[in-house]
Amino acid sequence: MAKVKTHVNRRSFLKLSAAGSTGLLIQFSWFSSLAKENPNLEAAYELNGFIQIHTDGIVTIASPNPEIGQNVKTSMPMIVAEELDVNWENVRVVQAPLNTAIFTRQLAGGSRSISQSWDALRMAGATARHMLVKAAAKGWNVPIAEIEVSKGIISHKITGNSTGFGKMAEAASKLEIPEEIDVKNIKDFKIIRHSKYNVDGPDIVTGKAVFGLDVYSENMVFASILHPPAFGMKLKSYDASEALAMKGINDVFTIQTYPEDFVRGPFDTSAFPELIVITGDSTWRIMKAKKKINVEWIPIESHTIKVKGFRNPKAKEQTIPSGMEETSSQYISMIKKSKEKAKEVRKDGDPEKAFSEAVKVIERTYTAPYLAHSPLEPLNFYANVTDDKAELIGPIQTPEYMEKSVAKRLGMTLEQIDIQMTRIGGGFGRKLYGHYLVEAALISQKIKKPVKLIYTREDDMTFGAYRPIYHAYYRAGLDADNNLIAFHVKAGGIPESPLYANRFPAGTVDNYIAEEWAIESNITTAAFRAPRSNFMGAVEQAFLDEVAELAGKDPIEFRLELFEKAIKNPVGDKNDYDPKRYAGVLKLIRDKAKWGTSKQGLSRGVAAYFCHDSYVANVVDLRMENDKPVIEKVYCATDCGIVVNPIAASNMVEGGSVDGIGHALYSMLTINKGRPEQNNFHDYHLIRNNDAPWDVETYFVDSDVHPTGLGEPPFAPAIGALTNALYKATSKRYYHQPFMIDIEEKYLRNNENV
């Protein structure tokens, strides 16, 4: 049995208290595992989670992280319930309110929710169980070791005593917490690793689940915004007389979300800090009337803003260039920039010498466009700001960060800000950036009424904060025996580089160089599901498929040979992946997809990638019909450590694979004179049911190690496997996403020699 510490340096991660007549309250630090690395980190001791054991045996577990579809509201409480030995049917899960006084890192992003809280949740459940058992042993005057617990019932066979958790709750609250606590053997898990249905499922299928857009209150005013139609523009003047004359319209005015001297937090991204606001008595009327506002927009001057980093709290100046950009000129700038000298991030051996000695050399270039996250629930927030309080309710992935920004912007204290999290109707990274929360608060503060701010789909899609546009150049050299002896990656983007210099195949090649570059822009970008990996994973795996072909090797065997080298004799000591686990998912997919066999009429491709501490390998089976792929099957093998909730984990992998494939085939946001050229789902193409893979089969590596991320890892390797299967089906290599648009013809052919 493993032990988990409940204290470090006599400081406790837990606190027990009697919850009046309602039972026992166990508060605990959700992030106590952070103290392992840094025992002096204050955040590790902040009591930010709670379990309440009610006298009737019902157990309430608060989930502090926003639920955005990643299943944390079900999976995290399962971990507590496992160690507590409670009947899962008696567990109630609630969304904890944002409270920075007691909660920390209330953030949905980076696929880290489960990974960061695994130890803490086990500790909390096990401690609660231990205290209840100890209270029973004391009360019955029997040895602790003789007591058994099953499904929330404490019993002692010899004396015949038996009672529910609720009855022992008060006595347990008076006992001392032990320094460390036993947690279960993994093989004894009865809840973890056993599928549990989504706790919100019944509410979702009956329309009762409350999303941000579903927050209504009496006397609420409806509000909508107008932003510049192009990046690089700002407001000059407007005439709202026609709109104001329309029925149900209250007012039209402007707000400054982020004044120029405002020091922005890491999630205060907005290309349009000044907006026109329209308010009225219903959604439909403001949507109609906003079209009647006549606005004059003018170009911005180049300027700087102050922004605090995500890890570095010191504000840095960021340049916002003037000008109206174009997709076509962006491709030209990237081609030019990729030929210039770039920043060297990692170098092993002597790559240039190795390339000059190589018998075969292959070089390829890949690109991917802007993507609009397009969560199906558009940006929206409810705000009721009075003189002494700001009540803010809606979908937000970063409540803790936005609390600070909105308090500063409203001129209020943190204590006066009350952010309440609803279920989130998809985010994919977009709802990390909470300008819309600040906007709603400013509108309410100005009109002194509760307000509901709604972005139309068009507003949501044209407001910016897109997945950056990327470019990657790869070069590989083989010796006479077809061994990979030199590897070069040079990646960049607008406005950031997607490079991960220490990822595969780094560590497997003696002569390796990784370089990066970036180009400034006034078009705002944002983290998008599997940031940077969503591009690098896909194109690296497509390139390796070509290298394997050039070497005359099977693509799986070729990769396994490289991993073998990284296991036995790795190059460098900064490689960020575990080659054994990487090879493990490839071997699993080889077996499950029966690699090497073929189905009549189907072409297959394979890929594997590591990100967010997890490993995923895919095989895609497809055929072409009217120049479009019909994807009959996707096989996925995943190693994410212990699988907490198999049915939900599988859902995440199925959806993540289809999401990756969909974006790589169809999605692209283009810019013309600064204007986004797509503004709704009629011209911005997301994958739909008829084009989606017919089936996704998921497999997980049977593992006893700490669970890791799952929301993001399946995205990139599915694209890699798709790209490689498309080659088999069409004999054509695909280099530029999205594959169903001829990027070469439209943007590149005439510009290759710039």
249 vs 486 by CB, closer to other proteins: 249
Distances (CA, A) of 584 to 595, 643, 698, 700: 15, 16, 15, 10
Separation CA 284–CA 148 (nearest Å): 61
- To other proteins, the closest distance from the beta carbon of 129 in angstroms equals 28
Contact 496, 309 (CB under 8 A): no
Per CB under 8 A, the segment of 57-65, 86-94, 691-699, 723-731 that binds other proteins is: 691-699
425 vs 434 by CB, closer to other proteins: 425
The C-alpha angle with vertex 136 and arms to 132 and 137, in degrees rounded to 5, equals: 115
542 vs 652 by CB, closer to other proteins: 652
> Footprint of other proteins on residues 261-300 (CB under 8 A)?
282-285, 287-288
197 vs 414 by CB, closer to other proteins: 197
Contact 98, 420 (CB under 8 A): yes
- To other proteins, the closest distance from the beta carbon of 74 in angstroms equals 9
Separation CA 459–CA 383 (nearest Å): 19
Per CB under 8 A, the segment of 344-352, 356-364, 462-470, 692-700 that binds other proteins is: 692-700
> Footprint of other proteins on residues 622-681 (CB under 8 A)?
647-648, 651-652, 654-656, 658-659, 662, 680-681
Distances (CA, A) of 669 to 293, 372, 504, 605, 663: 26, 7, 30, 27, 11
Separation CA 414–CA 100 (nearest Å): 8
> Footprint of other proteins on residues 359-378 (CB under 8 A)?
374-378
- To other proteins, the closest distance from the beta carbon of 722 in angstroms equals 14
561 vs 691 by CB, closer to other proteins: 691
52 vs 198 by CB, closer to other proteins: 198
Residue type, 180: E
177 vs 692 by CB, closer to other proteins: 692
> Footprint of other proteins on residues 20-49 (CB under 8 A)?
none
Q: Quickly list DSSP for 553-576.
A: --HHHHHHHHHHHHHHS-SSS---
605 vs 714 by CB, closer to other proteins: 714
631: left (phi over 0), alpha (psi -120 to 50) or beta: beta
Q: In 30-63, which positions are buried (b, 16+ CB within 10 angstroms) versus exposed (e)?
A: bbbbbbeeeeeeeebbbbbbbbbbbbebbbbbbb
> Footprint of other proteins on residues 503-522 (CB under 8 A)?
none
> Footprint of other proteins on residues 178-217 (CB under 8 A)?
195, 197-198, 200-202, 204-211, 213-214, 216
41 vs 209 by CB, closer to other proteins: 209
Q: Which two tokens stand for residue 129?
A: 């169980």
Pick one of 97, 266, 299, 426: the residue that binds other proteins (CB under 8 A).
Answer: 426
Query: If we measure between CA atoms, which residue out of 534, 365, 467 comes closest to residue 684?
Result: 467
- To other proteins, the closest distance from the beta carbon of 332 in angstroms equals 32
Tell me how crowded residue 302 is: count the other CB atoms within 10 A of its CB.
12
Q: Which two tokens stand for residue 84?
A: 């507590």
Q: With contacts defined by CB under 8 A, how many residues of the chain interact with other proteins?
A: 66
Separation CA 341–CA 336 (nearest Å): 10
- To other proteins, the closest distance from the beta carbon of 145 in angstroms equals 39
Q: Helices 579-592 and 555-568 meet at what angle, rounded to 10?
A: 150
Coarse DSSP helix, strand, coil percentages of the chain, rounded to the nearest 5 percent: 30, 30, 40
- To other proteins, the closest distance from the beta carbon of 513 in angstroms equals 36
Instruction: State yes or no: residue 457 binds other proteins (CB under 8 A).
Output: yes
- To other proteins, the closest distance from the beta carbon of 111 in angstroms equals 14
Per CB under 8 A, the segment of 9-17, 28-36, 423-431, 669-677 that binds other proteins is: 423-431
Per CB under 8 A, the segment of 346-354, 424-432, 476-484, 588-596 that binds other proteins is: 424-432
> Footprint of other proteins on residues 695-724 (CB under 8 A)?
695-696
CA atoms within 13 A on the CB side of 740: 21
Binding site for other proteins (CB under 8 A): 68-71, 195, 197-198, 200-202, 204-211, 213-214, 216, 222, 247, 282-285, 287-288, 374-378, 423-428, 454, 456-457, 647-648, 651-652, 654-656, 658-659, 662, 680-682, 686-690, 692-696
